[in-house]
Amino acid sequence: MDEDCAVKILGAPEAQVVQTKEIEMKEPLMVCCFPSAGVVGTIAANTLIDKFQMDEVAHVRSKYMPSAAVFLDGRLRHPFRIYGHTEKNLLVVTAELPVADEGLYYVSSTLLDWGASVGAKETVILDGIPVQGLPSDRKVLFAAEEEKIADLEEDSSMEILTKGIITGIAGSILSETLCRDMVGFALLTPAIAMVPDPEGAVQLLEALNRLYKVNVDVSELKESASEIRKKMEEMAQQVDGMRRQQPSVGQRGYERMYA
């Protein structure tokens, strides 16, 4: 990457990608991670960025994103960033702030226009499916365009997601890839809805390692995931004990309504 790259701007007034560093890659994989259940996508993105010491090469700006400043380790950052790693042939897209519904098309199409301009042919979304409590059966599910399904089915540890809807910027990106010479797919995992869930991020990154030999180290994530799971199990036991000690309220005939 060339630190002296002249700033390049791609897009329309509604949304623009501002490229601040020169990158040379051959059909890089573009990994898109946005806030979701258990923030598994964000955790996965931060792990990739930190472990590979990826450089911020571009950012997205749009009137459809909130005007706000993001601090990371005390440093100001754009809220919608693109990182690159030449040797890994990898792009990572991540954001902390949401995109307004009316701007989803502009942002996703501009992002994919830029991705195509640097040679990206495949775009993957890493995301969480919200569940209550600790997921007991932790499998990675996938949804993909027709030509990608056969490749993903070769991984016996993953399962196809038969039906569902992916909304927000992630869904908009996948919808837009259907109209382009670019393959889009999603890797999804059940995740704790309201608590950071590094175990879910581990599942997604290990799937990425198997599919693309990214070889990102997830050992630290596994340790933190084990600690969080232990604390969540302890909390669940405490809540269950409190519930059992409380007297029953109401008629028994209504209990199944609240099961």
Q: Mean of the pLDDT values across residues 160-173?
A: 92
Q: What is the pLDDT of residues 46-78, one digit of tens each?
A: 999 999 999 999 999 999 998 888 887 888 889
Question: What is the pLDDT, as a whole number, of residue 236?
Answer: 54
Angle between helices 40-51 and 198-212 (to 10 degrees): 60
Can you give the pLDDT at residue 7?
A: 76
Question: pLDDT digit string (tens) for 200-221?
Answer: 999 999 999 999 999 999 998 8
- pTM for this one? 0.84
User: What does the domain layout of the chain look like in residue ranges?
Assistant: 8-246
The class (CATH top level) of 8-246 is alpha beta
Mean pLDDT over the full length of the chain: 85
| Distance between CA atoms of residues 161 and 148, nearest Å | 14
Q: Any residues with CB less than 8 A from the CB of 206 and at least 6 apart, and which?
A: 218
